[in-house]
């Protein structure tokens, strides 16, 4: 369970500690965060577990949240369309209020100018939305008590902040003018919403909304309710100095205080840090030597009466630690603290300094410590929240929760590290699964480079005899109770074996288990971390930060594609290759992009990187090397990776001499597909490689470096979509990706004829969106239309195409902010089976309205027509002879991801795996998705073929929900095969990581989990006892019988 990487750059969304209860009642603390996955979550700050979480719709992004006592208010949607009140302790929704239609909401380019704010009254909530509307909502029901809209709605004034004090409610905003922004202040009567005064401060010039902070000072507690601020003041940064005015209900106070610039400053930033409600703020200074801040800052406090600013203390510059994070915190008693965290990219230590203004009778005191922090694995710190406890006089204990650039959330209690959450696992960009090597003795010998003489072997085996009783015990235990559904038993025995063998080798038992269910999933995340996760228990075995060797923490590494370079069968260290784009700031201050290849050992995480070329990569192609050319010694495995640069040239990896020689032999077979054309008219283009001629230029230059080998390509085909037809999605055939060939080439029907499958691993499914006008009337507005095509990627010819209605027509209904496309079609393609899912709103009222699942099977022709499509050359004319059979079903839910199970040999039927709209992983049997299901009653032949009568509704069987009752937030699926033909592993990722196994045709190659071993054992025992008892009886009878004869 994950929550996502918290937003830290926008003050309204910054994570924060929140304490429920007062100074007298035992408090319960939570750490609230809004994340990039649009999740609002509460973590337990001492353990790091999720207390609760809520995922918002993609069209409903969280823009602000604020907690007060036991309530948490969230504001979400464009311009703050929806307000929700939650119980802060358990996340239960109390009410939901919709302020305006989300698609008429204001969309701001800068999040700070979103024009949304939340403020609490004693019970009620004030909400600012769309930059000009203020409402007071009743805390109990969410009803609007009053509302106010700024009259000049289209004007240049945008309100951004709300502040409530005992005397009034103030709204602050910015008015744009030519030089920048000027401040605008409005004062309201909080009970009626009456505008008391409006004051524009035309003389002020601000760079942006981040340059002003509203301070509050003192608290007033009206009859035991929630405290309100006593006075409020406004501070802003202007020309390097800080100015302040006092806010009064009539806005008549023109008193302005300013900081002496000559004495202090110039300042570059002012920050409230969450302690602005206590009258504090922090102003950072310009560095002495360079333009950039060097970590020195001053802390100011507003006077109790709101008149004037007092400098409390300053943080010294820290030149050796350039990464600085400031944070503020409020303790249980309501005292404020401001801290500074600093670390460098090299030294594995971070320093922490906290200033307690109340200490020493209000003169303030700083304490601090240093703790171990490794920036090469966790990246730069980006945010910290502090929670300080004043245990005794002069003793201030802190706990910090930090967020870093790699997406980890870590908690430190003083200098000890308590917990970490790797939230970057919610942002998987590239993924691959690898098998582990088998735990045979030979493997151990090779793995551990062991060589032993016969005597040594006998001695070792004697030693191992001592584990024999344990082994026997385990064996019988397994015999009696072990089952397939519970993998720990068989693997325990294996790992026991392996442990005995590996104890002197020093590996950690990373061996394949009996059924091959234990694998390693390598995931590369958007924050530049790579994880190796073992599939049986889901444990992270290793993690590395890409670019860890570089001192430059600002370098961005974007994973593009992961390819399995070496499998366990080719050597004991399976390897994956990760294609990355590296964005780096050059000394001249420009961002440059380089494409590189990182080889990662899947069992240990050891990595080695190679720079391929400058610029970004257009496409990554996996090339199969024929067996004849593979050689372990020359370092040429089953796969080569081709990367296409902007000039449509292909670079290969590995690219040493032998590999280049091999590649020259196979380069003519390589083909790939690119998206080309201007953004409005994208086209698909098929390309082939031109043979590379390695010509050595004649040169005497000793510094001459021959260019890295690359191959030019030429275009072979180009799709002709209609003008304005936009490519939304391209899905490759799962057969090509997994490399599992079809187990059968045809389908035998009830009358003993065969339908031969159309086998073409180069098939791709393309989804396009276009706007069409009806022929009859050119005046009617264009309609969105989605098209699905199946395309032969070698030849560029269409195999199948269909037009489906757009689920979200651009003319009606709100647009989804997250997805630009109106075509929400999910597709999956394997062998000759193509499934897609879409919503049919039945605009013409002909059929039923709902989600549709269409199943298409491609055959070479009618019964017994065989063109051997799998073996045909790409340019054969027969390749185009395809007969699709399709049928449409009504699907009960929305679908977030579609996948098809994959098994070792592809013999088991292929079930459809979906993540449905209820956040469950569910499987659907291929039998029900069969496009040959007869519409009429079943005939004997149909029955023989195993067909089920057609029913437009797909059965929704809750027993096929693999995720059971666990709520699962994920949007992608990956299926892999195991050593058991019956079983396929399914990994759901996106936010949570969920791994399960499914047996599409039933677990026919292992005993079913229902198989009752005890019953079998007892029955055998019972029969045995019966024989023992009856044998003497029978013998006696025979003897007696003999006596008579």
Partner 1 sequence: MVHFHVRLAYLIGSLAALIQAVDIKGTIVPNEILKDIKSLGATKVVLDDGRRSGAVTRNGHFHIPHVEPGTYILQVLAPQYHFEPLRIDVLESSDLPEVRSYTPGTPLDPPSMFTLPYPLTLQARRKLDFFVPEASFNILGMLQNPMMLMMGVTALAVLGLPYMLKNLDPETMKDINESQQMMAKMQNNLDLSSGLSGLLSSAAQAAQGEVGSGPKPASNNKGKAKRR
Interface residues toward partner 1, by CB under 8 A:
54, 57, 59, 84, 87, 92-96, 98, 101, 774, 776-777, 780-781, 783, 807-808, 811-814, 816, 824, 839, 841-851, 890, 892-894, 917-920, 952-953, 958-959, 961, 964-965, 967, 1009-1010, 1012, 1014-1015, 1018-1019, 1041, 1044
CA distance 301 to 367: 19
Q: Which residue has the tokens 């650039």?
A: 405
Minimum distance from CB of 811 to partner 1 (Å)?
7
Nearest in space to 108 (alpha carbons), one of 91, 132, 143: 132
Of 392 and 1015, the one with the shorter C-beta distance to partner 1 is: 1015
Pick 176 or 1012: Cβ nearer partner 1? 1012
> For 258, phi and psi rounded to 5 degrees?
-140, 155
**CB nearer partner 1, residue 419 or residue 893:** 893
Task: Give the residue with the Cβ less far from partner 1, 28 or 103.
Answer: 103
Nearer to partner 1, 953 or 1025 (CB): 953
Residues 10, 110 contacting (CB under 8 angstroms)? no
In whole angstroms, how close is the CB of 789 to partner 1 at the nearest point? 23
Could you tell me the smallest distance in angstroms from the CB atom of residue 1006 to partner 1?
Answer: 16
Gap between the Cα atoms of 32 and 558, Å rounded: 28
Question: How many Å apart are CA 840 and CA 803, to the nearest integer?
Answer: 12
Minimum distance, C-beta of residue 97 to partner 1, in the bound complex (Å) = 8
- Bridge partners, 159 (sequence order): 173
Structure tokens at 418: 């308590």
Helix, strand, coil percent values for the chain (each to nearest 5): 15, 45, 45
* 712 vs 964, beta carbon nearer partner 1: 964
CB of 803: closest distance to partner 1 in angstroms?
Answer: 14
Q: Which two tokens stand for residue 489?
A: 């038993």
Q: Minimal distance in Å, beta carbon 71 to partner 1? A: 12
In the complex, the smallest distance separating the C-beta of residue 1011 from partner 1, rounded to whole angstroms, is 8
Helix (H) or strand (E) holding 620: strand 619-624
Report CA torsion sign: 210, 216, 222, 225.
Answer: positive
> How far does the chain reach from its first CA to its final CA, in angstroms?
82
Point out which residues pair with 972 in neighbouring strands.
989
Q: How far apart are CA 762 and CA 962, in angstroms?
A: 31
The H or E element spanning position 771 is strand 763-772
Question: Nearest distance from residue 403's CB to partner 1, in Å?
Answer: 25
Which CB sits closer to partner 1, 114 or 968? 968
Q: Which is nearer to partner 1, 153 or 606 (CB)?
A: 153
* 101 vs 239, beta carbon nearer partner 1: 101
Alpha helix (H) residue ranges in 648-688: 657-666
CA distance 138 to 126: 9
Three-state secondary structure call for residue 668: helix
CA distances from 219 to 166, 225, 229, 232 (A): 9, 12, 5, 11
441/1038 with CB nearer partner 1: 1038
| String of DSSP letters for 540-566 | EEEEEETTTT-S-TT-EEEEEEEEEEE
Residue for token pair 């704010």: 117
With respect to partner 1, which residue has the nearer C-beta, 16 or 837? 837
| Least distance between partner 1 and beta carbon 641 (Å) | 39
Burial class (CB within 10 angstroms; exposed 0-12, middle 13-18, buried 19+) of 692:
middle
State the nearest-atom distance from the C-beta of 104 to partner 1, in Å. Answer: 9
870 vs 858: CA distance, rounded Å: 12
CB-nearer residue toward partner 1: 735 or 922: 922
- Rounded to the nearest whole angstrom, what is the least distance from the CB of residue 153 to partner 1 in the complex? 17
Give the shortest CB-324-to-partner 1 separation in angstroms.
39
Residue 469 parent element (H or E): helix 468-481
Q: Do the Cβ atoms of 931 and 853 come closer than 8 Å?
A: no
CB of 93 to partner 1, least distance (A): 5
285 vs 991 by CB, closer to partner 1? 991
């Amino acid at each position: 369970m994950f929550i996502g990487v918290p937003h830290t750059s926008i003050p309204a969304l910054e994570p924060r500690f929140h304490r429920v209860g007062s100074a007298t009642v035992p408090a319960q603390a939570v750490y609230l965060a809004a994340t990039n996955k649009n999740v609002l979550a509460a973590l337990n700050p001492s353990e790091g577990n999720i207390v609760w979480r809520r995922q918002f719709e993609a069209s409903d992004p969280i823009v602000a949240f604020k907690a007060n006592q036991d309530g948490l208010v969230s504001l979400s949607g464009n311009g703050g369309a929806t307000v929700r009140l939650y119980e802060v302790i358990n996340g239960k929704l109390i009410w939901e209020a919709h302020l305006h239609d989300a698609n008429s909401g204001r969309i701001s380019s800068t999040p700070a100018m979103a024009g949304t704010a939340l403020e609490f009254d004693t019970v009620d909530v004030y909400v600012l939305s769309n930059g000009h509307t203020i409402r007071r909502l009743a805390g109990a029901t969410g009803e609007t008590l009053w509302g106010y809209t700024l009259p000049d709605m289209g004007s240049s004034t945008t309100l951004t902040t709300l502040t409530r004090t005992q005397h009034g409610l103030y709204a602050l905003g910015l008015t744009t003018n030519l030089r920048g922004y000027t401040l605008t202040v409005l004062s309201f009567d909080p009970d009626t919403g009456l505008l008391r005064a409006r004051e524009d401060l035309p003389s002020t010039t601000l760079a942006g909304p981040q340059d002003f902070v509203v301070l509050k000072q003192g608290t007033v507690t009206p009859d035991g309710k929630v405290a309100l601020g006593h006075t409020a003041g406004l501070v802003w940064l202007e020309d390097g100095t800080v100015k302040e005015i006092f806010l009064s209900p009539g806005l008549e106070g023109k008193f302005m205080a300013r900081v002496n610039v000559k004495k202090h400053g110039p300042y570059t930033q002012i920050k409230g840090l969450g302690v602005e409600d206590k009258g504090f703020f922090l102003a950072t200074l310009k560095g002495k030597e360079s333009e950039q801040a060097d970590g020195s800052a001053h802390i100011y406090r507003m006077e109790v009466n709101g008149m004037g600013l007092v400098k409390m203390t300053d943080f010294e510059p820290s030149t050796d630690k350039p990464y600085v994070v400031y944070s503020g915190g409020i303790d249980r008693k309501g005292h404020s603290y401001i801290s500074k965290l600093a670390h460098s990219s090299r030294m594995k230590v971070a320093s922490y300094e906290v200033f307690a203004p109340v200490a020493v009778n209000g003169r303030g005191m700083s304490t601090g410590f240093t703790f171990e922090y490794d920036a090469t694995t966790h990246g730069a710190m980006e945010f910290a929240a502090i929670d300080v406890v004043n245990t005794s006089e002069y003793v201030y204990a802190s706990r910090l929760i930090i967020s870093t650039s790699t997406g980890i959330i870590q908690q430190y209690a003083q200098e000890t590290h308590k917990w970490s959450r790797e939230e970057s696992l919610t942002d998987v960009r590239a993924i691959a699964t690898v098998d582990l090597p088998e735990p045979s003795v030979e493997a151990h010998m090779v793995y551990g480079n062991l060589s032993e003489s016969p005597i040594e072997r006998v001695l070792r085996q004697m030693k191992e005899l001592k584990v024999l009783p344990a082994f026997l015990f385990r064996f019988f235990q397994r015999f009696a109770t072990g089952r397939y559904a519970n993998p720990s038993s068989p693997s325990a025995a294996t790992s026991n074996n392996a442990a005995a063998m590996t104890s002197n080798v020093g590996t950690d038992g990373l061996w394949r288990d009996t059924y091959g269910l234990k694998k390693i999933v390598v995931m590369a995340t958007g924050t530049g971390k790579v994880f190796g996760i073992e599939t049986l228990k889901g444990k992270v075995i290793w993690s590395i930060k890409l670019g860890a060797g570089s001192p430059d923490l600002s370098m961005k590494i974007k994973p593009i594609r992961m390819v399995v370079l070496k499998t366990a069968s080719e050597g004991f260290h399976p390897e994956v290759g990760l294609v990355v784009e590296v964005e780096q700031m050059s000394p001249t201050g420009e961002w440059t992009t380089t494409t590189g290849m990182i080889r990662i050992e899947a069992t240990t995480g050891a990595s080695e990187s190679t720079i391929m070329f400058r610029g970004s990569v257009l496409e990554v192609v996996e090339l199969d090397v024929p067996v004849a050319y593979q050689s372990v010694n020359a370092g040429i495995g089953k796969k080569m990776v081709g990367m296409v640069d902007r000039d449509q040239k292909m670079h290969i990896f590995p690219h040493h001499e032998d590999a280049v020689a091999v590649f020259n032999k196979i380069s003519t077979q390589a083909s790939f597909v690119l998206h080309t054309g201007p953004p409005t008219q994208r086209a698909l283009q098929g390309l082939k490689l031109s043979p590379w001629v390695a010509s050595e230029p004649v040169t005497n230059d000793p510094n001459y470096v021959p260019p890295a080998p690359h191959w030019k390509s030429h275009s072979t085909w180009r799709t002709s979509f209609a003008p304005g037809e936009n490519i939304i999605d391209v899905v490759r055939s799962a057969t090509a990706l997994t490399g599992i060939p079809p187990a059968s080439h045809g389908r035998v029907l009830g009358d003993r004829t065969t339908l031969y499958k159309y086998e073409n691993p180069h098939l791709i499914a393309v989804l396009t969106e276009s706007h069409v006008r009806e022929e009859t009337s050119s005046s009617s507005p264009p309609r969105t239309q989605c098209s699905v095509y199946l395309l032969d990627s070698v030849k560029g010819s269409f195999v199948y195409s269909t037009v489906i209605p757009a689920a979200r027509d651009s003319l009606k209904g709100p647009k989804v902010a997250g997805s630009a496309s109106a075509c929400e079609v999910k597709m999956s393609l394997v062998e000759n089976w193509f499934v897609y899912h879409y919503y049919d709103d039945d605009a013409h009222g002909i059929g039923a309205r709902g989600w549709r699942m269409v199943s298409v099977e491609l055959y070479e022709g009618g019964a017994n027509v065989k063109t051997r499509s799998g073996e045909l050359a790409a340019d054969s004319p027969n390749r185009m002879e395809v007969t699709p059979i399709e049928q449409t079903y009504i699907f009960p839910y929305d679908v977030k991801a579609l996948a098809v199970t994959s098994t070792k040999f592809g013999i088991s039927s292929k079930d459809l795996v979906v993540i449905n709209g209820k956040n469950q992983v569910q499987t659907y049997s291929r039998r029900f998705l069969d496009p040959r299901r007869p519409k009429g009653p079943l005939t004997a032949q149909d029955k023989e073929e195993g067909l089920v009568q057609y029913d437009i509704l797909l059965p929704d069987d809750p027993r096929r929900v693999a995720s059971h009752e666990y709520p699962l937030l994920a949007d992608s699926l990956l299926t892999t095969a195991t050593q058991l033909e019956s079983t396929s592993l399914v990994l759901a990722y996106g936010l949570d990581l969920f791994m399960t196994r499914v047996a599409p045709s039933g677990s026919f190659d292992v005993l079913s989990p229902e198989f009752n071993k005890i019953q079998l054992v007892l029955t055998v025992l019972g029969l045995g006892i019966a024989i023992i008892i009856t044998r003497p009886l029978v013998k006696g009878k025979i003897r007696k019988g003999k006596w008579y004869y």
